[in-house]
Structure 1
Amino acid sequence: MASHRSTAGYAEEAPDLFVRYEARDAAAIHAPWAEFLPKPPARILDIGAGTGRDAAWFARTGHSVLAVEPVDALRTGAAKLHPEPGIIWLDDALPDLTATRARGETFDMILMHAVWMHLTEKERAAGMANVASLLKPGGRLFTSQRHGPIPEGRRMFDISGEETIALAAPLGLANLYCERTGSIQAENMARGIEWTKLVFEKAS
């Protein structure tokens, strides 16, 4: 797949990202919205799976995961680092998710961790419609959005939780949880970086 503007900067930083992302505990990252996570075994779609940290955690806890990652250096490295049999790796990207949708699957849970803020307004509208179509009735979407200084070489937009809630509502995605908090990483905290975490449920 051709490099997408939304992934700018990630291939070059891949070795550093493996060190940084894998050093963080997945259980701690998902603790704020843990009460909304599905009980295993669920079918999970991890969009922008990065180094595979979250996909591997979900696989180890009894779920099966389709891990979608458009950056070759991240996807191939993640597949080697996390050889869990419960993970399938796929080269695909928002907003179209062409290869994902071609599989004809729907999911109990979709995770978009630190992905959404890379998309333009037009891409977000198309992406949310495609994501909604991949959720089972009663399935849940988990998304986190970054706020603060934009790293050099990255394409990023500051999107409010309210905007995402408004975009999801007409697609039958009801907001269950919305919280904006400071980063738990000391370096990011010092730079004033904050995150909005959101959970949606598709009408059944």
Structure 2
Amino acid sequence: MATFALERYCPEFTGVDEVSVKAVRVSGTEHYAEEAPELLKRYESISFAEAHHAVMHLIPKAPCRVLDIGAGTGRDAAGFAALGHRVVAVEPTEEMRRGAMALHPSSSIEWLDDSLPELASLRARGEQYDVVMLTAVWMHLDEKQRRQAMPNVAALVRDDGAMIMTLRHGPVPPGRRMFEVSAEETIGLAAPLGLSCVLNRPAESSLRQPGVSWTRLAFRKEL
């Protein structure tokens, strides 16, 4: 990991500037900007290999195109880049995005400011990907947003490509916007869009958060 003062990339906003920035926060990203320095340190404490060992068999060995939606600290984007893949990393919170770019500079990672459920900028490019990752993202969407988002995400997965995601269960941290999401609902939304579930298993919280558990899902796009 690069060594630098994380706080440089996550400035605090005061007065009028703070009000204006908060007014345009993307739904589901509440408090991520304010907590970016701490989150960057915390999330980077778990390695890419440790976080995703259960699904690495679904990742192509040959170089491919990876989309990381809600890329956060850039840990996963950097992990995929280190394996030889080209990555588009989508992160709507500027403070997280800037910190991630400083932590993981790489010519194999393209950073994009976009957000669920629309992913308007990303979809306008007309691209598809071999692997689409949504790690600790889906729980930030309410039911209406999840129904809107799934077709938009599914359209970005190439035929025979993979969509891999984690669902969070448990208490919501103060000030955050999260919803309880079941594997059954998620599988049901994906199936009509040609995404077949190939993995559905419980996973412990890597950060050892009391009362928090996860479900890991993986889907294959039908040919």
Same fold (TM > 0.5): yes
Residue 212 (structure 2) aligns with = 193
Equivalent pairs, count: 201
Counterpart Cα distance in 2 of 1:130 and 1:39:
26
Aligned counterparts, 1:110-125, within 5 A: 110-125=132-147
User: What is the TM-score when the length of structure 1 is the normalising length?
Assistant: 0.96
User: What is the TM-score when the length of structure 2 is the normalising length?
Assistant: 0.88
Deviation at 1:36, TM superposition (A): 1.4
Checking the alignment, whether the CA contact within 8 Å between 1:60 and 1:84 is kept in structure 2 is no
Deviation at 1:34, TM superposition (A): 1.7
Letter in 1 for 2:136: A
CA displacement 1:97-140 (0-9 Å, x = unmatched): 00111111100000000000000111101111000111111111
Deviation at 1:35, TM superposition (A): 1.5
Counterpart Cα distance in 1 of 2:122 and 2:31:
23
Counterpart Cα distance in 2 of 1:162 and 1:83:
38
Q: 2:100 aligns with which of 73, 78, 82?
A: 78
Percentage identity across aligned positions? 51
Q: 1:101 aligns with which of 123, 148, 158?
A: 123
Aligned counterparts, 1:137-176, within 5 A: 137-176=159-198
Letter in 1 for 2:206: I
Q: Please, what is the CA RMSD of the aligned residues?
A: 1.1
Runs (4+) off by over 6 Å: none
Gaps of 5+ in 1: none
Checking the alignment, whether the CA contact within 8 Å between 1:182 and 1:192 is kept in structure 2 is no
Gaps of 5+ in 2: 1-20
Residue 53 (structure 1) aligns with = 75
Checking the alignment, whether the CA contact within 8 Å between 2:46 and 2:206 is kept in structure 1 is no
Counterpart Cα distance in 1 of 2:206 and 2:195:
28
Checking the alignment, whether the CA contact within 8 Å between 2:65 and 2:131 is kept in structure 1 is yes
Counterpart Cα distance in 2 of 1:110 and 1:35:
14
